[in-house]
Amino acid sequence: TPDVRPLVAGNWKMNGTRESLDQIKAMAEGVKGPLSEKVESLICPPATLLYVATALCDDSPLLIGAQDCHQNASGAHTGDISAEMVADCFGTHVIVGHSERRTDHAETDHLVRAKASAAHAAELTAIVCIGETADQRKAGQTLDILKRQLAGSIPDDARADNTVIAYEPVWAIGTGLTPTVSDVAEAHAFMRSELTRRFGGEGAKMRILYGGSVKPSNARELMGVANVDGALIGGASLKAADFLAIYGAY
């Protein structure tokens, strides 16, 4: 998308202990350089590593974010973390509505929207995940699903500087399968038109990431598709060498 700085983002899911901080250190070093002015980079480790990870990235363009937040700012919600807490750890982003949370924790579009609003209230960028299941794709419902999830999961006051969309076909996550380039192009063009219709100029500039089995060998092709403004990477973001190879595809 013209005039949009792509974002290469990693989602560590429930992986990573203190030992893995070496990978973050290597990523923080690896993204230094002129490419960082063109391309933004982000790692979302588990919440246990958030604070120490941001400290490691003190003098690096590598940004650190969380994988989820509660919709409330504080309160009696045992085990949850708030967007305020992420910001307090110097996190800059939070993923909301990842398909694993939609499935494992029955998160609805309505809840995901509330979480995105909580992120915005804490001055974080919300990475709002959407995507169809294999059955929905087979039934030809992909664009309908994307339309409904976009309408339901994004707050009305979302802006291009505080909201990123991540299109992640559920069947492509962690499977090694990816949609064809023309399927990615169709989905992203559709999302762009929906976002522009609803948010005008802000929607035209809102980044739309592709996610689902992105790896060094397919990154360049996927990132080259029109309206793909970066990647959300699971498995291949755990190792600095893979993450940096994908980042370097730009």
> Which residue ranges make up the annotated binding site?
11-13, 174, 213, 234-235
What SS3 state is found at 211? strand
Q: 130: which strand partners?
A: 167
Nearest-approach distance from CB 92 to ligand PEP, in angstroms:
18
What SS3 state is found at 82? strand
Residue of the chain from 235, 242, 243, 249 that contacts ligand PEP (CB under 6 A): 235
Binding flag, residue 174, ligand PEP (CB under 6 A): yes
In the block, residue with structure tokens 């992203």: 188
Binding flag, residue 233, ligand PEP (CB under 6 A): yes
Q: 211: which strand partners?
A: 232
Name the burial class of residue 103, with classes exposed (0-12), middle (13-18) and buried (19+) by CB atoms within 10 angstroms of its CB: exposed
Of the candidates 98, 107, 120, 194, the residue annotated as catalytic is: 98
Q: How many residues bind ligand PEP (CB under 6 A)?
A: 13
Residue of the chain from 40, 109, 168, 229 that contacts ligand PEP (CB under 6 A): 168
Active site residue 40: no
Nearest-approach distance from CB 239 to ligand PEP, in angstroms:
12
Nearer to ligand PEP, 11 or 23 (CB): 11
Residue 224 CA: distances (Å) to CA of 48, 149, 228: 34, 25, 7
Residue of the chain from 211, 228, 243, 246 that contacts ligand PEP (CB under 6 A): 211
Q: How many CB atoms lie within 10 A of CB 39?
A: 18
Q: Are 43 and 62 within 8 A, CB to CB?
A: yes
Active site residue 123: no
Binding flag, residue 213, ligand PEP (CB under 6 A): yes
List of residues contacting ligand PEP (CB under 6 A): 11, 168, 173-174, 211-214, 232-236
